[in-house]
Amino acid sequence: MAEWAAGPGAGAEQGGADAYAAMESALRGGAEPGVGPEAYAALDLALRVGELMLAGGETAEAVDLAMGRITRAYGLPHTEIDVTLAAVGISYRPRGGRPPVTAERRVRRRLPNYARLVAVHDLVRAAAARRLPLREAQFTLGDIIGRPTAYPSWLSPLSLSLLGGAGAVLVGGGPFAMLAAFVATLLGERAGAWLARRGITDFFQAGVAAAIGSLVTVLLVATGADLQAGSVIIGVVIAHIPGRALVVSMQDGIAGDLVTGTTRLAEVLFTITAILSGIGAVTYVGARLGVPVSLRNLPLAPSTVAGPQTLGAALIAMSFAVLHLVPRRFLLSVALGGVMAWGSYVELRGLDLPAAPATALAATLVGFAGTAYARLRGVPALVCVTPCIAPLMPGTLMYRGMLELSTGDTGRGALILVEALATALAIGAGVYVGGELLRIFRPARRALRVRRVRT
C-alpha cells in the first residue's frame, strides 16, 4: 500500500534507480543475463579460439565463423567479430539498455601448427553441437594449448632442408645436387635462426638464407662441379617461398576480407623480395668476379612425369607437411596430392600452356580434390591442400629472372620475374577456386551472415 501511496512520480524515480543499478552491476560483472560471468567466459573462449586459429594459419573467414559458432553455442547470439592479421576482436551488446562488452586479443606469433588447428576445429564443432559444456570447453582448449607438438623440434630444420633437396631433384638435379641443396638450405635455416635470436627481422633472415643457397651454387660453378648447379639454388628458393601465407592471402582477398588479405599479400611480397635480393646480390658479385654463371647452369623442368621428379614432388609435399606440423595420419594423402599437383602441371605444360595458367589449373584441381578429402575427414581444408601445392612454387622462374638481371638483360629479367609473381598468385587463386567449385556440387554448412568488406 505504501508503494501505491507514493504516486507515479516515485515509481518512475524508482524505475530509473533500478536501471542505473543494473548498469552499475553490469559494469562490475554482475549476474544479469548476458553480462554475467558465463557470458564473459564465452567471449574469452571465442577470443582464444580465434587467436589460435589465426596464429596457426587459418583464413580470416574461417576464424570469423568459428568465433561466431562459439558465442552462439553459449548463449550470445548477436556478437560482432573483427579479424585482422594482427588481432581478433569481439563485441557483444546485451539487451535491456546494458552497456556493450568489447574485448580483443593480439596475435604476436604466427607459427603454423596444423595439428593444433585440427584440434581447435574439433572443439568448435563439439561446442556448436551442444556436446561440450562451457567449463569443459575451457579445459579442453587449455589442454590443446599445452599439448606437445606433433613432431620433435629438431625435425623442423631437417624437414625444411629435405624440402630444398627435393626441390633440386624436382627440377632435374641428381643426388649430388640434392645433397648440396639440402646442406645449403640447412645452413641458411641455421643462419636465420641465429639472426632471429638476435632480434633480426624475417626479411633479412629470408635474404640471408637465399644468399647462402646462391653462394653454394656460385662455388659449385666456380669449381666446375659436374652437376646442374642451378638446381641447388632453385631448391633453396622452393624451400623458402611462403606458400602457406600466399594461399591464405589470396583466399582472404577473394572472400572479401580485404585488409587481412592485402596485409598477408604484402608480407608475402616482402619475403619474395628478400629472397630475390639475396639471390641477386650473390649472383651479381659472382658474375663480376668472373664465375661463369649463365643460363646454361639453369635446369629445366622435365616435360614428362619421370620417376625422380615424381618422388621429388612427393617429398616436397611431405616435408612441407612436417614443417607445418600436419598430423601423421595425413602424410600419405599429402604425398599423393603433391604427385597429383606436379603431374597435372607437367601435362598442362605439355599442351603448350604458359606457366601461370597451367599452375592455376593444377592448383584448382588440387583445391577441389583436397577440399573434398578434408570434408570427408572432418578437418580444415588447409591441412590437406596447402602442402600439396608446394611443388608448384615458381622457383625456376624466380632464379631465371634474377640471373637475367645479373647478366645484364634487365628487360627480359623483369618480365620473367613478373611471370613468376603471376604464377605464385595463380597458386593461391586456383586453390580457392577449387574449393568454391566443390560448393557448387556439395554446399558446405555455413552460418548465415552478412559479409563485411573491410576497407
Q: What's the pLDDT score for residue 27?
A: 47
Mean pLDDT of 152-164: 90
Residue 92 backbone dihedrals phi, psi, to 5 degrees? -130, 130
Q: What's the pLDDT score for residue 9?
A: 46
pTM: 0.80
Residue 381's contacts (CB-CB under 8 Å, 6 or more residues apart) are: 367, 370, 371, 374, 375, 435
Q: How sure is the predictor about 351, in pLDDT bands with cuts at 50, 70 and 90?
A: confident
Mean pLDDT of 199-211: 87
Read off the pLDDT of residues 60-118 as tens digits, 9 standing for 90 and up.
888 999 999 999 898 888 888 888 878 899 988 877 667 778 888 888 777 788 989 99
Q: What's the pLDDT score for residue 4?
A: 34
Q: How sure is the predictor about 199, in pLDDT bands with cuts at 50, 70 and 90?
A: confident
d(CA 314, CA 318): 6
Q: Is the pLDDT of residue 160 over 50?
A: yes
Q: What's the pLDDT score for residue 126?
A: 92
Read off the pLDDT of residues 262-318 as tens digits, 9 standing for 90 and up.
888 888 888 888 888 888 888 778 877 877 765 555 555 555 677 788 898 999 999
CB 377 within 8 A of CB 369: no
What is the pLDDT of the chain when averaged over all its residues?
80
d(CA 241, CA 256): 24
Q: Is the pLDDT of residue 6 over 60?
A: no
Q: Is the pLDDT of residue 413 over 50?
A: yes
Q: What's the pLDDT score for residue 1?
A: 34
Percentage of the residues of the chain whose pLDDT score is greater than 70: 83
